[in-house]
Structure 1
Amino acid sequence: MGSRLTEEQSAFVAAVRDFAKRECGTRQQRDALTGGGREAHHPGLYGRLAELGWLGVCLPEEYGGSGGGLADACVFLEETSYGMVPAGGFVTTVIAAKAYERFGTDRQRREVLPGVVRGDVLSIAMSEPEAGSDVGALRCRARQTADGAWVVEGQKTWISNAHCAKGILLVARTGEDKHGGLTMFHLPARTPGVEVRGIETMGGREVNDVFLTDVRLPADAVVGQVNDGWRQLMAGLNYERLFLASNMLGLARRVFDDALGYVREREQFGRPVGSFQALRHRVADLATEIECTRLLVREVALDCDAEPDRLFPREASMAKLKATEVAKRAALEGMQMMGGYGYTTEFDMERHLRAAVVSTVYGGTSEIQRDVIGKTYGL
């Protein structure tokens, strides 16, 4: 990827790396920013990213963005992930922002997108207790009243960043058809009737239950068209899967560098453990897998930028599948190479593993990605 970056992108990468090294380059800095690893998002640091103009990397200039493409956003996500910058709110924010950009009204775009550039976090509420991989089975319902307003009732779960979001892109049922009865809504997070409860996980505070009780939204809260939510969701899969892939590509690179640094220094039997063939071959295999992943993610991002109206279900799913599985494998291998030290909280490896394992579940499990890929071959 490095050799294929434009001059502007190379300068951008250098700037992000410098920021990460300066602001969170030590374990002490990262622990202070994340509550010892429990919080994936630090509002203050996120605000500084906004001041630098980086949060609008792929948003139109008319809303304060930089006017960059999908490849630019992927570069940013990869580098912030590699640098362990606690900006976890960016992934859901940029995915939601692209939906507003593509399907929102002029008023919605003017209300939401400049806020994203300034540092507002957005969340996406799709999953429910009985509707995870099968999003079309969701039951959270929005009914329209006589005056055109909407009343929403239901529960969402596993909602990333809802606890720090200013706005939520809500997907609710408005019709009886499984896929043809879904609609997107713009839901300000502090709307009366919205309750957010954190879900404790081994990764800390990232996901939430969202309870919606008699939530009233105006008629113009619809994002896109009524009952067209499924098609709109499918149109955004390129963004979602590539952003998640880029995030995990950055993590895989970080895992590799941390493990490599350890096996170069750690000595047993009178020499560095990395000099033993068993570990040297593991390092070689991981390096090759990460480089393959880097080339795949970059190529798919460039293809999507070249044809922004085209869906790339096979390629986007391949990128998400490959990057998340490689990140998980890298973290497991890294822990094995570090032995007991990889398991201790003194080092970052156990934190890397917690972040990598769940990536094969959220945003469409690895099994779902394989199923999508298989179907594109007529199977």
Structure 2
Amino acid sequence: MGYILNKDQQDLVDLAKDFAQKKVAPFVAELDRAEVPGEKLYEIYKEAVDIGFCGLEIPEEYGGMGQDYYTVAAVYEELAKVDAGFATAVAASGLGLKPVLQHGNDAQKQLYADNLTGEKGSGFCAFCLTEPNAGSDAAAGTTVAVKQGDEYVINGTKCFITNGGVASVFTVFAITDKTKGVKGISAFIVEKDRPGVSIGKEEDKMGIRLSNTTEVIFQDVHIPADHLIGQEGKGFVYAMQTLDLARPMVASLAVGIAQRALDEAVKYAHERVTFGKPIIKHEAIAFKLADMDIKTEVARSAIINFLNTYYAEPKRNYTREAAIAKCYAGDISVEVALDAVQILGGFGYSREYPVEKLVRDAKIMQIYEGTNEVQRIVISGFLAAKK
């Protein structure tokens, strides 16, 4: 592993590894096949909350673990090695939390801390930005928040919301001034139990099936004015800042998938004998495994490069580094998972072995939290600005 961690950090990563292997792994195949994951998944979610995995980023003064992003990324990788869907559910709470940590006041931070540490609520939150007609073009959203006295009234529908059905609090982006374009978008805290909040259909997904993905519908939802995060009209900026921090965390999930695929392929290549020797001794397989290892380690290094930049120069724009980490890790997770299927041959194509699932899980890494096409737009924009 490329992360250089102290003993306390490594102990937490080892705890995540142990939890994933003992508490999650025995049920992955069953829950992946289930039409509705059911109570067993929520029991495991609850255990993760009790340990503190959903509150890794929350400062200690609010009751969280106060971990740096090196540790968080390493924890997410370990969880994703066992199941990327479960890891996505945990990471999505971090996504919903980030705008509040960056721009919220003390009371708002405590509200989220209480939810994510299990003191109140479910232990999960959700980031509500995407809409049916506003995915990559997030500024095209139509959800509105109208100020009425000392309240805001929110109306609109969000879709593809990770943790939508299990979160007890939402970070919601809505238009407060239609005349100002992206400068008219604001960010709000909305508790799930407020009248007018409802959960739409749960998505029947190709992969990451141990995460909950739903519509979230807001119909005349009244919230206090103090549930505005930061300033009115800054919501789009907050969302983009959040995604810059979150994309490398998605990359860590992608690296977890790739590392698991590599591990499974190496294990099989030692065991499978053809023409009198293990297939790992055949150059065609050995070189493919080497390429898989190179891609996985470079993807991990891209995350570390982002984090080095983030901590060394916090006032610098790190959008490019975030986009590179997410884009490259997402792409290679698919490539490495497919290579693992190829190495395992017919067994790789069978659901009896885990690698076909890794392909299904990997594909979303190129799509959510900004498609890889969008990441390339971002990166090329930085190149075009150079003279």
Q: Structure 2 length normalisation: TM-score?
A: 0.90
- SS of the residue corresponding to residue 133 of structure 1 reads coil
Task: Give 1:129's match in structure 2, choosing from 127, 132, 139.
Answer: 132
Deviations 1:6-62 (A, max 9, x none): 33322322232223232234xx43335656596499332233233334433222111
Deviations 1:130-168 (A, max 9, x none): 1110101111111112x2312222221111110111111
- When the two chains are superposed, the root-mean-square deviation of aligned CA atoms in Å is 2.2
Which residue does the alignment assign to 2:92?
92
Structure 1 contact 238–304 (Cα < 8 Å) conserved: no
Task: Give 1:362's match in structure 2, choosing from 343, 368, 371.
Answer: 368
Which residue does the alignment assign to 1:334?
340
Which residue does the alignment assign to 2:58?
59
Structure 1 contact 142–174 (Cα < 8 Å) conserved: yes
Which residue does the alignment assign to 1:349?
355
Deviations 1:83-106 (A, max 9, x none): 337343211111221211121222
TM superposition shift of 1:114: 2.8
Counting matched residue pairs gives: 376
Which residue does the alignment assign to 1:255?
261
- 5+ long unaligned stretches in structure 1: none
Which residue does the alignment assign to 1:164?
166
Map of 1:180-195 to 2, 5 A cutoff? 180-195=183-198
Change (3 A) 1:208 1:52: closer
- SS of the residue corresponding to residue 329 of structure 1 reads helix
Distance 1:37 1:249 in 2: 27
- SS of the residue corresponding to residue 347 of structure 2 reads helix
Distance 2:137 2:125 in 1: 23
Structure 1 contact 20–80 (Cα < 8 Å) conserved: yes
Change (3 A) 1:190 1:181: same
Distance 2:27 2:130 in 1: 34
Fraction of identical pairs, as percent: 29
TM superposition shift of 1:182: 0.4
Which residue does the alignment assign to 1:44?
43
Structure 2 contact 146–153 (Cα < 8 Å) conserved: yes
Distance 1:49 1:102 in 2: 24
Map of 1:103-252 to 2, 5 A cutoff? 103-118=103-118, 120-145=123-148, 147-176=149-178, 177-196=180-199, 197-203=201-207, 204=209, 206-252=212-258
Structure 1 contact 249–323 (Cα < 8 Å) conserved: yes
- SS of the residue corresponding to residue 210 of structure 1 reads strand
Deviations 1:246-281 (A, max 9, x none): 111111111110121122212333432332222111
Distance 1:302 1:66 in 2: 21
Query: Which runs of 4 or more aligned residues in structure 1 lie more than 4 Å from their structure 2 counterparts after TM superposition?
Result: 32-41
TM superposition shift of 1:66: 2.1
- Which amino acid is the alignment partner of residue 153 of structure 2? V
Distance 1:192 1:134 in 2: 29
- SS of the residue corresponding to residue 177 of structure 2 reads coil
Structure 1 contact 245–319 (Cα < 8 Å) conserved: yes
Distance 2:368 2:257 in 1: 15
Structure 1 contact 89–122 (Cα < 8 Å) conserved: no
Q: Structure 1 length normalisation: TM-score?
A: 0.92
Structure 2 contact 54–93 (Cα < 8 Å) conserved: no
Which residue does the alignment assign to 2:295?
289
Distance 2:136 2:52 in 1: 35
- 5+ long unaligned stretches in structure 2: none
Change (3 A) 1:3 1:171: closer
Q: Which moved more, 1:166-175 or 1:194-203?
A: 194-203
Distance 2:339 2:33 in 1: 27
Structure 1 contact 58–68 (Cα < 8 Å) conserved: yes
Change (3 A) 1:54 1:308: farther
- Which amino acid is the alignment partner of residue 17 of structure 1? K
Distance 2:193 2:273 in 1: 55
Structure 2 contact 5–71 (Cα < 8 Å) conserved: no
Structure 1 contact 70–302 (Cα < 8 Å) conserved: no
- SS of the residue corresponding to residue 303 of structure 2 reads helix
Distance 1:8 1:99 in 2: 27
Distance 2:288 2:95 in 1: 35
Distance 1:50 1:208 in 2: 20
